[in-house]
């Protein structure tokens, strides 16, 4: 096992962080935490074989000095992009050996290692850009939110639609009273587009020489290598990913969080296709209830239900939508329902329109009130707006910094809500606990799960036809529901890994 203590990484970095915030010399410049906009950051990339490569392309204005990935075959194209960058498999070794020569870190690993890499990088004074969902668990999201505030680093979650004009326009429409007081929202996605609803593989497969399997597992429970886990398909396993909700809600629900000012839900109810212990279901519906919030000008913010659909499930079709018109777009969408009308958008809040669409000819766009990000319009894949806005913030003094709009003070609580929805789906798949769950967001716990509640969940499922007869073999494991809830809110880290302590408020 490559334990985190093998290079005394935790001990050295946390002792240093306790004494002072380590900030690279290149960032110090003339004033603490400031670098001239004309100077370049030294950026390290961790998880560079997939979307991490695109993030680095959008950061190519800076110095890409280090690249880290557990699978060097998958990462080889990115290695070729930056031949002068130092190569690593272990992020701890990278931070240990390069130290002050790194200003900022971009993280695009599987979900289960986002928090451990980002948290330790922040304690070393590194700015961090972390792919969505920000974290794998509710507790991790709370931790990153507090660490970002404590160490005053520039942060950004990789939900790139957040830097585009669409989400801002939707918010400004609602705040201007275009559809009255919003009391219900429907959000949906075309995901998953990877296998889900899977049972734990039992075949023995030799691990490729280019992949460090122990490092891929990281803080998760150890198991033998299997190609169904990586690359990419890790999204369909609870130990590594968060399914369709975690993958896409941070994109699609982003305008909802902005426009309605929602934070922690107070209740959640979920239903799904057959669920099991290991892998998210094929399709699910989740209903969040958020409490009344402070009014935005003349627009009230009453209690609101936000309903999520994936796996091909869709909300009811609005009667205002003409026959033949698509709901949202091919990737998903949002429908806001207010006391005076409806707004429909595509994925990322794209192309917002009043319903019926004929109402747009009489609609006067309100004056912009939210900061626009340069490049935040047009094709979402043809711009570096989201990454460059983070880079701008990295170069500004913490005292005068204009934070990126998906900084962790926004995206941390947002991700908590998403991760809690993943838990609701997991509980929906349990026998013995079919009820609306009450959530105490401040204390990160469900309040109506009894210490005596017992639940069962599928841990083996097989089907065969023998001599023309169907044979089902479905087995269940029994758990204490409250113990499960505590574990799912705050994962137990394994294999010698640990997180920094939660800062005090």
> pLDDT tens across 248-306, in order?
999 999 999 999 999 999 999 999 999 899 999 999 999 999 999 999 999 999 999 99
H-type helices in 292-407, by residue range?
A: 385-394
Bridge-partner residues for 66, per DSSP? 44, 86
Q: What does the pLDDT read at residue 451?
A: 93
Rounded average pLDDT over 200-214: 95
pLDDT band at residue 10, thresholds of 50, 70 and 90? very low
Q: What does the pLDDT read at residue 25?
A: 38
Q: What does the pLDDT read at residue 431?
A: 75
Identical fold, 4-162+383-406 and 164-198+212-362: no
**What is the model's pTM?**
0.93
Mean pLDDT of the chain: 92
Rounded average pLDDT over 204-209: 96
What percentage of the chain carries pLDDT values higher than 90? 88
Rounded average pLDDT over 379-400: 93
pLDDT band at residue 505, thresholds of 50, 70 and 90? confident
Bridge-partner residues for 244, per DSSP? none
Exposure string over 313-339, b if 16+ CB within 10 A, otherwise e = bebeebebbeeeeebbeebbbbbbbbe
Q: What does the pLDDT read at residue 35?
A: 58
Domain limits, the chain: 4-162+383-406, 164-198+212-362
pLDDT digits (tens, 9 = 90+) for 52-89: 999 999 999 999 999 999 999 999 999 999 999 999 99
Q: What does the pLDDT read at residue 31?
A: 36
pLDDT of 211 higher than 60: yes
pLDDT digits (tens, 9 = 90+) for 410-421: 999 999 999 999
Structure tokens at 238: 């609870």
pLDDT of 12 higher than 80: no
CATH of domain 164-198+212-362: 3.30.360.10
Query: For residues 156 and 219, what is the distance between their CA atoms, to the nearest angstrom?
Result: 23
CATH of domain 4-162+383-406: 3.40.50.720
Contact of 1 with 89, CB cutoff 8 Å: no
Higher pLDDT, 435 or 188: 188
Rounded average pLDDT over 168-183: 98
pLDDT digits (tens, 9 = 90+) for 13-52: 444 444 333 344 334 333 334 455 569 999 999 999 999 9
Q: What does the pLDDT read at residue 473?
A: 94
Q: What does the pLDDT read at residue 173?
A: 98
Q: What does the pLDDT read at residue 446?
A: 97
Which residue's structure tokens are 């030294």? 42
Structure tokens at 203: 């075949």
């Amino acid at each position: 096992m490559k334990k985190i203590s093998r290079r005394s990484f935790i001990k050295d970095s946390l002792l240093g962080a306790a004494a002072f915030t380590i900030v690279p010399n290149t960032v110090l410049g003339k004033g603490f935490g400031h670098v001239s906009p004309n100077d370049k950051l030294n950026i390290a990339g961790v998880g560079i074989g997939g979307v991490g490569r695109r993030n680095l392309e959008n950061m190519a204005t800076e110095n890409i000095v280090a690249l880290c990935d557990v699978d060097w075959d998958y990462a080889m194209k990115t290695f070729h992009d930056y031949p002068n960058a130092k190569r690593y498999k272990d992020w701890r070794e990278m931070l240990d050996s390069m130290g002050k020569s790194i200003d900022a870190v971009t993280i695009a690993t599987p979900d289960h290692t986002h928090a451990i890499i980002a948290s330790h990088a922040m304690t070393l004074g590194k700015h961090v850009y972390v792919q969505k969902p920000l974290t794998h668990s509710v507790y991790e999201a709370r931790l990153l939110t507090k660490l970002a505030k404590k160490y005053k680093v520039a942060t950004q979650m990789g939900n790139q639609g957040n830097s585009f004009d669409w989400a801002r326009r939707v918010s400004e429409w609602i705040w201007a009273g275009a559809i009255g007081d919003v009391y219900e929202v429907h959000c949906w996605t075309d995901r998953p587009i990877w296998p889900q609803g899977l049972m734990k593989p039992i075949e023995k497969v030799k691990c490729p020489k280019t992949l460090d399997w122990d490092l891929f597992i990281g803080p998760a429970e150890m198991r033998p290598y299997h190609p169904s886990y990586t690359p990419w398909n890790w999204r369909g396993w609870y130990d590594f990913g968060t399914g369709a909700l975690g993958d896409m809600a941070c994109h699609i629900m982003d305008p909802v969080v902005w426009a309605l000012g929602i934070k922690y839900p107070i209740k959640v109810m979920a239903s799904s296709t057959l669920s099991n212990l290991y892998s998210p279901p094929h399709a699910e519906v989740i209903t969040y209830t958020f409490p009344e919030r402070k009014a935005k000008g003349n627009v009230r913010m009453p209690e609101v239900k936000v309903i999520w659909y994936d796996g091909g499930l869709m909300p009811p079709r609005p009667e205002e939508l003409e026959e033949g018109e698509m709901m949202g777009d091919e990737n998903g969408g949002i429908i806001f329902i207010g006391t005076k009308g409806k707004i429909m958008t595509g994925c990322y809040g794209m192309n917002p329109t009043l319903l019926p669409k004929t109402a747009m000819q009489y609609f006067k766009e309100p004056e912009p009130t939210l900061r626009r990000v340069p490049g935040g319009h047009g094709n979402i894949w043809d711009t570096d707006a989201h990454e460059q806005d983070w880079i701008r913030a990295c170069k500004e003094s913490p005292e005068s910094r204009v934070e990126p709009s998906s900084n962790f003070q926004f995206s941390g609580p947002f991700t908590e809500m998403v991760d809690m929805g993943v838990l609701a789906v997991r509980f929906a798949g349990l026998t013995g606990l079919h009820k609306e769950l009450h959530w105490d967001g401040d204390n990160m716990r469900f309040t109506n799960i009894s210490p005596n509640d017992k639940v069962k969940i599928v841990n083996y499922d097989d089907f065969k036809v023998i001599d023309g007869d169907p044979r089902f073999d479905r087995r269940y494991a029994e758990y204490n529901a409250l113990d499960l809830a505590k574990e799912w809110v705050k994962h137990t880290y394994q294999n010698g890994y640990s997180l920094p302590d939660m800062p005090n408020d």
